[in-house]
Structure 1
Amino acid sequence: MNNSNKAIYPLIGSLLVVVGIFLGIFLTNGKSVNKSSVSGKYEQKLADIIEVLDKEYVDTIDKKVLFEKTIADLLHGLDPHSNYIAAEDLAAMSEGIQGKFGGVGIRFTIYDDTLSVVNVIDKSPAFRSGVQKFDQIINVDGEDIANVGLSNSHVRELLKGEEGTPVNVTILRKGEEIEMEIIRGAVPIESISAAYMLTDDIGYIRLGQFSMQSANEFYVAAINLKSQGMKNLVFDLRYNGGGVLGSAVSILDAILDEGTPIVSTKGKNSPERVLYSESKPFLGHVDVAVLINSSSASASEIVAGAIQDNDRGTIIGRRSFGKGLVQQDIQLKDGSNLRLTVSRYYTPTGRSIQKPYTEDYEDYMMDELKRYENGELYAVDSSLLVDSLKYTTPGGKVVYGGGGIMPDIFVPLDTAGSSTYYRKLQYANVFNEFSFHYVRFNGLSEYQSVQDFDRNFKVTPKLLADFKEFATKKHDIIFNEKEYNHSLNRIKLAVKAEIARQKWLELGAYYVFNKDDEEIRKAIEVLR
C-alpha cells in the first residue's frame, strides 16, 4: 500500500469496535453464525465503508491490508500480546513452536552473491541426496539464483515446502555442475544451541526458544552432562522470547521437587489453574544458576520465576522483558489466526510480572531501548523496587513483581571494547562471511574437538590483516585504526568464535564466546 495511505488509519479508528464485533463472524468455535443477527448488520456496514473507501479515497488502497491492519490495531488497543496472524504468515510462525519445518536440511550463507552451503544436517534430505559442505547452489527449479542479488528470505521460499515434495537444484562443486533432485522432509529446529561442561563439575545448557521438542532436548542434554560429572548447571535463557508453556513446565519437572508450584493462571473467563511439578526430579541435587536479560520473556520468565520463588537456584543478569499474559490461538475460517490473551500468569509467590501497558504498542515494544537510555542496563533501577510489589519466598528472600523478573545478582551490560567500527563489522555480517571464506580454503581438519580448537587455534597478526582487508574490499568498511585498537579483543574473540561456528555450529561459537562472558563468570563463581 502507498505510504500516503497511512493517513487513512485515523479515519477508520471509529471502525475498531465494529471490527471487534465483525471478528465474531469468522471464529470457528463450533458455533453457527446467524446471518440475520445484529452482528450481520455490522458486517454489512463494515463491508460498505471499506467499499466506499476503495472507490472514493484519494489514493489507491489495498482492502485486505487495510482490514488486517485495523484488526491488529484493535487487538493492540486491548493488550500488547493479542494479535492477528494472516493465513500466509501462520505456517512460518508455527515452525518455531513445532520445532520443525518442511525443507531440505542445510545451513547456508550468501557469499559473493551465491548461495553457499555452510552445513548439511545429518540424515536430512540434502544429506541423503549427496549435498556437501561448501557446495554452491546456482539454480533451483529452473531459476538461476547466482549473482542476482539473492536474499535469505528468497532462498527459504525456494527450498522450504511440504514434506514429500521435490525440489530440483543445480550445484557447483569444484567447478563442476551437478544436477540433483531433493525430496523435502521434516527438518528439526533445535532449540538447544549449546550444551557442554564449563568446568569439571559445572554444565551449561543454552535454550533459544521453548518449542514442543524443547523438553526432550533438555532431558537428553542434561543426562549427557550428568554422565560427564555435572553437579551444577548454568541454564542460559538470555534472548529466549518464550514459546510453549508445556515444555517449560516439563523442564521444571526435572529441577523442582514433586508437588512444587510452578505457575498459576487466571482470567475473567478462565478459572484459576495452578501447575505443579509432577515427578521426582532427576536434577534434584544439581545446583542451578539461570541467566536472563531484557529479551528473556514469557516461558523463560516462568522458568526463572519458579526457580527463584521456590529458592531452587540463583537468577543472574538483568531484568527480564515482563510478559505475564497467556494467549489462546483461535483459528478463523479463512485460515488466519486470532491470538487472544485469555489470562494472566503468576509466579509461585503470587507475582504478576507483566510490565505496564498504556495502549501505545510501539512504545511498549521499544522498552529495551528505553532501559538502555535510562541506564537500567548498567545499574539496578531502584524505582522498580517498591513495597507494593514486594513478595517473600519460603526461604525468606525478597522478590519483586510488576515488570519482569528481577535477578538475584545483577550483572551490567558489557560494552567494553565496543566502537562504531566494530558495530559496522557486526551489522555487515563480516565475521560470518570471513570465517566461511577462511574455513573453505584452510579447513580445520587438524582440530579433533572444539576444546582442542579453543586451546590451540590462534588469531594471528596475519589472520587479522586478512580480516581487515576482507572487510574493506568486500564490504567497503573503512579501516579506523583508533577504533580497531579499542575493539581489538572483541574482534579477535569474534573471529575465533565464528571460525569455530563453521565446524561445530552454535556449540563452537558459544564455547569460545562464553570464555569472555561476565554472566558466565559470575554463575561459575556463585555455583562454586
Structure 2
Amino acid sequence: MNNSNKAIYPLIGSLLIAIGLLLGVSLGKGKTSGSSIEGKYEQKLTDIIQVLDREYVDSIDKKELFEKTITDLLHGLDPHSNYIAAEDLAALSEGIQGKFGGVGIRFTIYDDTLSVVNVIDQSPAYRTGVQKFDQIINVDGEDIANVGLSNEHVRELLKGEEGTPVKVTLLRKGQKIEKEIIRGAVPIESVMASYMLTDDIGYIRLSQFSMQSANEFLTAAVKLKSQGMKDLVLDLRFNGGGVLGSAVAILDAILDKGTPIVSTKGKNSPEQTLFAENDPFLGDANIAVLINSSSASASEIVAGAIQDNDRGTIIGRRSFGKGLVQQDIQLKDGSNLRLTVSRYYTPTGRSIQKPYTEDYDEYLMDEINRYENGELYEVDSSLLVDSLKYTTPKGKVVYGGGGIMPDVFVPLDTAGNSTFFRRLQYANVFNEFSYHYARFHNLNKFNTVQEFDHEFKVTEKLLKDFFEYAEEKHDITYNEKEFNQSSQRIKTSIKAEIARQRWLELGAYYIFNQNEEEIKEAIEVLQ
C-alpha cells in the first residue's frame, strides 16, 4: 500500500474505538447483530471503507486497511490483544500445539544450497531414507540450488498438511536421488536441553510452553532423577510463555498439594485461583529458576509461583512483565481475535503487568530502554516502591508492577563483545562453518558431549580455517585487535556450534552454559 495511506488509519481507528469489543464478540459468535445501534456503527464502518476506496487520492487495499485498523484498535486497548489473519493463524498455532506438518529435517543453507543438518528420528524424512549431509536441490519440480534461497522459502516448500506428498531431489556424494516424502506430524520440542550440571544438580532448559511441554519436562526430570539429581536449575531465559495449562502442570510437579499457583480475574471473567493438585514429583528438590527480560507470561507465572511460595530462588534480571491473559475468539472468516480477558495475579496477589499506554511502539521499546538506562547492569531501585510491596509466607519481600524481580540479580555479561564478533554472529558464520567442519570430520567418535568437551580443542589450525572461511564466504576480514578482545567468545561459539552438529541443542547449551554467570550463581545457591 502507498505510504500516504497511513494518514487515514487514525480516522478509522477512532471510529472502531466506539465499537470496541462489541465487534469482536458479535463476529466471534458468527451472528449478525440484532441491534439497530450496533448495525448503525457497522454500516458506518462499511460506508467509510467504500468512500475511501472510491474517492481517496491513491488506490487502497481494503483488506489490508481494515486488518491494520483492527490491529491498531486492539493495541489501543492493551499491548497483547491482537488480530490474527486467517492465513497467519496456522503458523502461530504450531507453537501452541507443539507440532507442525512437515518432513522432519533440520537444515542449513550452505553454499546457497539446502543442506540437511539432522533427520528427526522416525520422521517422514527418516522413514524415506533422507540422510544427514544430503543436499536438497529440487522440491516439487522447483530447482532451489544457487538461486538465493531463504529459510522462509524452504519452510514454504517443505511444510504442509499431514498426509500430503512432497517430491524432492537429493544430491548425495555426487549422485542424484529422487524421493517422495509423505508429510507427517513433526514435534516442536520445548525442552531444548537437560543434563547434570554437577553430580546432584540437574538442568532443564525450556524454550516455550506448548501443549506438550509438561510431558517433556516430566520426562526430562524423571531421567535426571535416575542419574542422581537432587536439585534442579530450571532455565526460563528467553522463554516468551505460551500455554497456561502447561505452566500449571509443571508447577504441580514442584509445589506441595494445595499450594496456590495463580489467580485470574477480569470484568467478564470471575476470579479463579488454581492450586497444585498432586503430591509433587520434585517435592524434595531445591529449585533455582533463571529469568531475564525476555522471560514472559507463563514463564513469569512459574517464577512468580515458586518465588511467592518460598519454593526456590529466582536468579537473573527482571522479567518482561506480561500479566494479561488472552482468549482466542475465532471470527467467521477464519481469522482470530486474541483478546485480553483477564489479569493474572501471583499467589501473594501481585500483578506483574508492566505499565502501558496506547503507544504500542513505546511498549515494545521497553527492553531497549532497560539496556540504555543501565537496568541490565544493576537493580533499578526506583521499581521497589512500597505500594507494590508484598510479603511471602516466610516473610520475604517481593514486588509487583512490572515483571518478576529476581532474588539474586546477575548483571548482563558483555565482556568479550566486539564488532568483529557480532559480524560473525549476524552472518551466521559459526553455524555454517560448524556444518562445513562436521561434513569432513568424524564427530561420532565422541560418544558423549562430556567426552567431546574434555577432548575437543579449538586449535590454532581450526581458528585459521574458521577465519579463512569467514573471509571467503562472507567477506569478513580477520581483525587481530578485536579477536584478542573476543577470543574466548569466538572459541566457545565455534566449539558449541560444532557440538550442536552432533548433539543438537544439548551440545550447544552444554558448552555455552559453562561460561554463563547465571549458571554459576545457580550452582552456588543450590550448593
Normalising by structure 1, we get a TM-score of 0.98
| 1:316-395 to 2 correspondences below 5 Å | 316-395=315-394
The alignment partner of 1:274 has SS state of strand
| 1:403-482 to 2 correspondences below 5 Å | 403-482=402-481
Shift of residue 478 of structure 1? 2.5
Tell me, in whole angstroms, the C-alpha distance in 1 between the residues paired with 2:70 and 2:291: 33
Tell me, in whole angstroms, the C-alpha distance in 2 between the residues paired with 1:245 and 1:409: 26
Tell me, in whole angstroms, the C-alpha distance in 2 between the residues paired with 1:284 and 1:21: 43
Cα RMSD for the two superposed structures: 1.2
- 2:511 maps to 1:512: yes
- The CA deviation string for residues 431-460 of structure 1, in whole angstroms up to 9 with x for no partner, is 000100010111312211111100000000
The alignment partner of 1:516 has SS state of coil
Aligned residue type for 2:483: Y
> 2:13 aligns to what?
13
Tell me, in whole angstroms, the C-alpha distance in 2 between the residues paired with 1:231 and 1:480: 46
Shift of residue 60 of structure 1? 1.9
Shift of residue 200 of structure 1? 0.3
Tell me, in whole angstroms, the C-alpha distance in 1 between the residues paired with 2:227 and 2:201: 10
> 1:27 aligns to what?
27
Query: In 2 relative to 1, CA 481–5 (structure 1 residues): closer, same or farther, beyond 3 Å?
Result: farther
- 2:282 maps to 1:283: yes
> 2:266 aligns to what?
267
Tell me, in whole angstroms, the C-alpha distance in 2 between the residues paired with 1:481 and 1:436: 25
Tell me, in whole angstroms, the C-alpha distance in 2 between the residues paired with 1:271 and 1:438: 58
Shift of residue 24 of structure 1? 4.1
Unaligned runs of 5+ in 2: none
Tell me, in whole angstroms, the C-alpha distance in 2 between the residues paired with 1:6 and 1:471: 42
> 1:194 aligns to what?
193
Shift of residue 47 of structure 1? 1.5
Tell me, in whole angstroms, the C-alpha distance in 1 between the residues paired with 2:33 and 2:349: 42
Query: In 2 relative to 1, CA 466–218 (structure 1 residues): closer, same or farther, beyond 3 Å?
Result: same
Shift of residue 15 of structure 1? 2.4
Tell me, in whole angstroms, the C-alpha distance in 2 between the residues paired with 1:477 and 1:10: 45
Shift of residue 35 of structure 1? 5.7
The alignment partner of 2:20 has SS state of helix
Is the contact between residue 83 and residue 338 of structure 2 (CA under 8 Å) also seen in structure 1?
Answer: yes
> 1:245 aligns to what?
244
Unaligned runs of 5+ in 1: none
Query: In 2 relative to 1, CA 213–234 (structure 1 residues): closer, same or farther, beyond 3 Å?
Result: same
The alignment partner of 1:46 has SS state of helix
- The CA deviation string for residues 167-225 of structure 1, in whole angstroms up to 9 with x for no partner, is 00001111111111000000000000000000000000000000000000011000000
Shift of residue 162 of structure 1? 0.5
Shift of residue 80 of structure 1? 0.5
The alignment partner of 2:163 has SS state of coil
Is the contact between residue 97 and residue 243 of structure 1 (CA under 8 Å) also seen in structure 2?
Answer: yes
Shift of residue 18 of structure 1? 5.1
The alignment partner of 2:281 has SS state of coil
Aligned residue type for 1:228: Q
Is the contact between residue 18 and residue 46 of structure 1 (CA under 8 Å) also seen in structure 2?
Answer: no
- The CA deviation string for residues 402-456 of structure 1, in whole angstroms up to 9 with x for no partner, is 0000000000000000011111111111100010001011131221111110000
Q: Give the share of equivalent positions with the same residue, in percent.
A: 81
Tell me, in whole angstroms, the C-alpha distance in 2 between the residues paired with 1:390 and 1:466: 55
- 2:74 maps to 1:75: yes
The alignment partner of 1:290 has SS state of strand
Is the contact between residue 22 and residue 43 of structure 1 (CA under 8 Å) also seen in structure 2?
Answer: no
> 2:132 aligns to what?
133
> 1:94 aligns to what?
93
> 2:150 aligns to what?
151
Shift of residue 25 of structure 1? 7.4
Query: In 2 relative to 1, CA 142–18 (structure 1 residues): closer, same or farther, beyond 3 Å?
Result: farther
Query: In 2 relative to 1, CA 199–73 (structure 1 residues): closer, same or farther, beyond 3 Å?
Result: same
Shift of residue 484 of structure 1? 1.1
- The CA deviation string for residues 374-409 of structure 1, in whole angstroms up to 9 with x for no partner, is 000000000000011111100110100000000000
- The CA deviation string for residues 330-375 of structure 1, in whole angstroms up to 9 with x for no partner, is 0000000001101100000000000000111111111110000000
Report the more deviating stretch, 436-445 or 316-325: 436-445
- The alignment covers a number of residue pairs equal to 527
Tell me, in whole angstroms, the C-alpha distance in 1 between the residues paired with 2:194 and 2:252: 19
Aligned residue type for 2:479: N
- The CA deviation string for residues 224-245 of structure 1, in whole angstroms up to 9 with x for no partner, is 0000000010000000000000
The alignment partner of 1:445 has SS state of helix
Query: In 2 relative to 1, CA 47–109 (structure 1 residues): closer, same or farther, beyond 3 Å?
Result: same
> 1:307 aligns to what?
306
Tell me, in whole angstroms, the C-alpha distance in 2 between the residues paired with 1:285 and 1:464: 46
Aligned residue type for 2:305: A
Is the contact between residue 24 and residue 337 of structure 2 (CA under 8 Å) also seen in structure 1?
Answer: no
The alignment partner of 1:280 has SS state of coil
Is the contact between residue 26 and residue 33 of structure 2 (CA under 8 Å) also seen in structure 1?
Answer: no
Shift of residue 52 of structure 1? 1.6
Shift of residue 59 of structure 1? 1.8
- 2:488 maps to 1:492: no
Aligned residue type for 1:332: L
Shift of residue 36 of structure 1? 6.6
Tell me, in whole angstroms, the C-alpha distance in 2 between the residues paired with 1:396 and 1:113: 59
Aligned residue type for 2:54: K
Aligned residue type for 1:297: A
> 2:39 aligns to what?
40
> 1:160 aligns to what?
159
Is the contact between residue 19 and residue 46 of structure 1 (CA under 8 Å) also seen in structure 2?
Answer: no
Aligned residue type for 1:184: R
Aligned residue type for 1:411: V
Query: In 2 relative to 1, CA 259–26 (structure 1 residues): closer, same or farther, beyond 3 Å?
Result: same
Query: In 2 relative to 1, CA 19–144 (structure 1 residues): closer, same or farther, beyond 3 Å?
Result: farther
| 1:95-134 to 2 correspondences below 5 Å | 95-134=94-133
- 2:255 maps to 1:256: yes
Tell me, in whole angstroms, the C-alpha distance in 2 between the residues paired with 1:303 and 1:35: 43
Is the contact between residue 232 and residue 527 of structure 1 (CA under 8 Å) also seen in structure 2?
Answer: yes
Tell me, in whole angstroms, the C-alpha distance in 1 between the residues paired with 2:50 and 2:21: 18
Is the contact between residue 327 and residue 341 of structure 1 (CA under 8 Å) also seen in structure 2?
Answer: yes
Shift of residue 38 of structure 1? 2.5
Tell me, in whole angstroms, the C-alpha distance in 2 between the residues paired with 1:318 and 1:520: 13
The alignment partner of 2:17 has SS state of helix
> 1:397 aligns to what?
396
- The CA deviation string for residues 26-81 of structure 1, in whole angstroms up to 9 with x for no partner, is 52336x32467322222222122112212222222111110000000000110000
